[in-house]
Structure 1
Amino acid sequence: MLELVEVSYKTNEKEILSNVSMKFLPGYKYAVIGTNGAGKSTIGYVIMGLSSYKPYKGKILLNGKDITDLPVTERAKLGITLMWQEPARFEGMTIENYLTLGGKLSVQKSEVAEAMEFVGLNPNLYLKRFVDKTLSGGERKRVELASIILLKPKYAILDEPDSGIDLMSLSIINDVVNYIAQYGGTPIIITHREEMAYNTDYGYLICAGKVLMHGKTEDVLNAFRNTCETCAHPNIPEINELRK
């Protein structure tokens, strides 16, 4: 189990996350839901252990072990991965090399081809292409999804996975989310869109860096729709009165 215990994070003395507690169990699908600026992506960065996203209070546990001080590389070895909202591009690196970690990932060529086909990319046309600006945002997202299929992480954090893709790709994302859960992994979808959250079991509603509520995704989405989408307050912790 992956767990956040009263995690707080700030930057430039501004509180971004405040006493955030969450639990993520293997095989379940989770959604972290909130409006833009609520702190959702920051939660993903803190879980992943990015260098400038260390909490000043609280801890992160993986199967009961405190990993709060572990660097991102060590968390990756433990099975945690993050799919960025805007995936990076790498000049001079082919998609095939990217997906196989330069040949270090123990997978067959047929598995690589199957992963590409799973996300709707023809391996014969794409594997020798470069992970650079010649790829559209949607193509780059699909490549990232293919990498998750091959890596089979225990915890896959997908930050706004539908950003920059066409509507037809939403079903591909859902297929990948289902695939992760089926092999016993835990997909964590960070999103502000109801369409992305529907295909999850459990949701956390985030408002101004705090967990407003959590429970079955359907219930959380109802609260999101009826509370957050009609709330006019600026999403800034210092002036947020919603949860006082």
Structure 2
Amino acid sequence: MNLLEIRNLSLVKDGRPLLHDISADIWQGYVHAVIGPNGAGKSTLAQTIMGLSGYRDIEGEIRFNGELINNLSVDERARLGITLVFQEPARFEGLSVPDFILAGAREKRLVLVDEALRVVGLDPNRYRSRAVDKTLSGGERKRIELASVYAMKPRLLLMDEPDSGVDIDSIQHIFTVIRELKAEGTTVLLITHSGEVLQQADHAFLLCAGQIVDKGPMDRMLDYFNGQCAPCTHVGCPDIDRK
């Protein structure tokens, strides 16, 4: 069953075409990935699905659980269960860690705070009384944001470069969150330059110059990171970031 259906999606922003005639099915309960060179339109696609300002004037259709969402606001899409996690963690200075984690959760239970912190590898006894402020490192902020996503239990989670700016230990905990959410029925779409992140997915799309040029199971799509890009009509030869 398709949770998200994208049909003939095109986007022109400030006179520049960013996405062109994209069609894709995002299967419910699976982890998908979008890979491709810098400037291919990967983050743009995630922001368009979320309906951010500047990414709403589109051609084509975006359907979520069968409902056309083209004209829905970010808040309305969030209420349907769509969540976008950016490369940089959100900053809510002074908000307590429990309040931050439970802000988007349907169940406001403190026991959920402890559970979410453990999933991301943080000791509840150390972080329950802390605030989301400058005393937290970038890696801690990233994990606490992921804890809030875990508590939220979204239907569709869009993750833009989940490994950006985090250490090896943190990325393993991020992978744990992805697996836990998938087990509970969340559909995940990963935007990534990383072969390691791609390996957390079941299926992937290769984007180049705003178009999908290939798609397939994760193990085959790993060829991209070995320099085996799909044939396409791109006039240049974009550099591949093989993290």
Q: Same fold (TM over 0.5)?
A: yes
Q: Give the match for residue 61 of structure 2.
A: 59
Distance apart, 1:35 and its partner CA? 2.0
Aligned-partner residue type, residue 81 of structure 1 = T
Cα distance in 2 for residues equivalent to 1:126 and 1:233:
49
Aligned-partner residue type, residue 196 of structure 2 = E
Overall identity of the aligned pairs, in %: 43
Please list every run of 5 or more consecutive structure 2 residues that lacks an aligned counterpart in the other structure.
Answer: 239-243
Q: Give the match for residue 241 of structure 2.
A: none
Contact 1:4 1:21 in 2 (8 A): yes
Q: Give the match for residue 155 of structure 2.
A: 154
Aligned-partner residue type, residue 92 of structure 1 = G
- Equivalent pairs, count: 234
> Which residue of the other structure, out of 3, 8, 11, is the alignment partner of 1:6?
8
Change (3 A) 1:228 1:139: farther
Cα displacement string for residues 173-230 of structure 1 (whole angstroms, at most 9, x for unaligned residues): 221111111111101111000000111110001111111101111112213532449x
Q: Give the match for residue 241 of structure 1.
A: none
Q: Give the match for residue 240 of structure 1.
A: none
Greater displacement, 62-71 / 217-226: 217-226
Aligned-partner residue type, residue 192 of structure 1 = H
TM-score of the superposed pair, with normalisation by structure 2: 0.90
Distance apart, 1:22 and its partner CA? 1.4
Aligned-partner residue type, residue 102 of structure 2 = T
Q: Give the match for residue 181 of structure 1.
A: 182
Change (3 A) 1:232 1:162: farther
Q: Give the match for residue 207 of structure 1.
A: 208
Please list every run of 5 or more consecutive structure 1 residues that lacks an aligned counterpart in the other structure.
Answer: 236-244
SS across alignment from 2:166? coil
Cα distance in 1 for residues equivalent to 2:35 and 2:65:
24
Cα distance in 2 for residues equivalent to 1:2 and 1:47:
9
Cα distance in 2 for residues equivalent to 1:122 and 1:160:
25
Q: Give the match for residue 15 of structure 1.
A: 17
Q: Give the match for residue 171 of structure 2.
A: 170
Cα distance in 1 for residues equivalent to 2:37 and 2:135:
31
